A and B are shown apart, each in its own frame.
Chain A
Amino acid sequence: MNTEPLWNIFINASLVNNFVLAYFLGICPFLGVSAKVDTSVKMGGAVTFVMVISAMCAYGIHVLLVYLNAPFLQLISYIVVIASTVQLVEMIIKKMSPALFRTLGIFLPLITTNCAILGLALFQTNKGYGIVQSFVYALGAGAGFTLALVLIAGLREQMEFAEVPNTMKGTALTLMIAGILSLSFMGFAGLGMQ
């Protein structure tokens, strides 16, 4: 049983070991949706919501699988839970805000194949977090993901007006920015308390 304080878990998940910039999880939406700040905030919100729900479900499933002595079903059951949560979020967003639904487009169903969410479920199981710790971990990871997405979106909005050689444009430039951002996030390493 892990007894890490909740504040440490939150800081570690959101800043020190940022899911996007340190673990490379969720790079696809990171490169795909992060063109506008507005959209990336909403995308971050959707991902955080899915993260929290699937982290809670993953905890329950883990307990059940340990009881049933069937660890090999872990991956399959996690992915099924995540896929159905995403389906639920998709329906909610479609009902509540059709405009947002159109903006997010294909990237909404693709949250299912967002490694950040499955990664979160697997990491929390490996670390042996309890249910409250898992909840905080999911919140922290979601906050970190949103932060990285919003930061890169802001930088990319500025880059629109910059003079860049044609060869550099597109993914290569975004990756360069992400690299520099990742370097600057290493400054948070001192915050990580053990």
Chain B
Amino acid sequence: MREGGDRSARTGLLKMNFEGQTTDEFIKGLWRDNPVFVQVLGMCPVLAVSNTAWNALAMGLATAFVLLMSNILVSSLRNFIPRQVRIASYILIIATFVTITDYAIQAISVELHKSLGAFISLIVVNCLILSRAEAFASKNGIGRSIMDALGMGVGFTFALLCLGAVREIFGNGSIFGWSMFPDQFQEWIVMILPAGGFFTLALWLLIFNIIKERKAS
């Protein structure tokens, strides 16, 4: 994996520049280690609820909230959780916050809760959250973990919005519910269908690959 080595070398370089600063933890989630486009983590909700921009935004924010809270709790309990049962404890912590989020969304908007469906509960099994708990929060202090969670959360929301916006514009002719094109516009139904999710994500990954190659050469 030449690419991986290259990336970690670059990360190391940046770490030196930002020694002792937490801003780097925030920035890395946005772009360099973007959870969706670079790490390809947590794909299920990315593909499933990105059929409109609103759904994508709500899902992104819900995930970011769970990520933030679980990172805080995992990081503050990191010296008390025995190593052997750590994964089980992390999942329990995450499941608790997801239940809270589920009930909160239901209280705020029943309509939104219906359109997101089971995918709010499925935040529990979003690999992104568990991987941040295991790879970052369990080894770092609360402050850095908060920054990490915020960065990853915003990066995740950004990626979801990228997909949601494209799919809504082409599949529905609107953005955030606002109509974009004149009435003659023929919607691309395929974009709303599951297949459209795969195609849109593939296109975004392609764009990212091209940018990466440009930078490398």
Contact = CB atoms under 8 A, between A and B. Distances in A.
B102 interface: yes
Interface in A136-188: 166-168, 171-173, 175-176, 178-180, 182-183, 186
B102 to A, nearest CB: 7
Contact of A182 (B98, B198, B210): B198
Interface string A35-54: 00000000000000000000
A118 B190 contact: no
A25 interface: yes
A122 B124 CA distance: 12
Contact of A179 (B43, B98, B124, B195): B195
B142 interface: no
Q: Which of B118, B198, B205, B209 has the most CB of A within 10 A?
A: B198
Interface stretch (B53-61, B88-96, B153-161, B177-185): B88-96
**Secondary structure of the A contact surface, majority rule:** helix
B48 A31 contact: no
Interface string A71-90: 01001100110010000000
Contact of B122 (A76, A80, A118): A118
Given A119-B118, A171-B205, A176-B202, A26 B213 contact: no
Contact of B127 (A75, A113, A172, A173): A113
A96 to B, nearest CB: 23
Contacts of A123: 118
A190 to B, nearest CB: 16
A6 interface: no
A113 B125 contact: yes
A175 B125 CA distance: 21
B99 interface: yes
B40 interface: yes
18 contacts: A21-B194, A26-B44, A27-B47, A75-B98, A75-B99, A113-B130, A118-B122, A118-B124, A122-B121, A167-B210, A172-B209, A173-B202, A176-B199, A176-B202, A178-B198, A179-B196, A179-B198, A182-B193
B213 A24 contact: no
B102 A75 contact: yes
Contacts of B48: 23-25
Given A25-B122, A167-B210, 11 more contacts: A24-B48, A75-B124, A76-B96, A118-B124, A122-B118, A168-B209, A172-B206, A175-B205, A176-B198, A179-B202, A182-B193
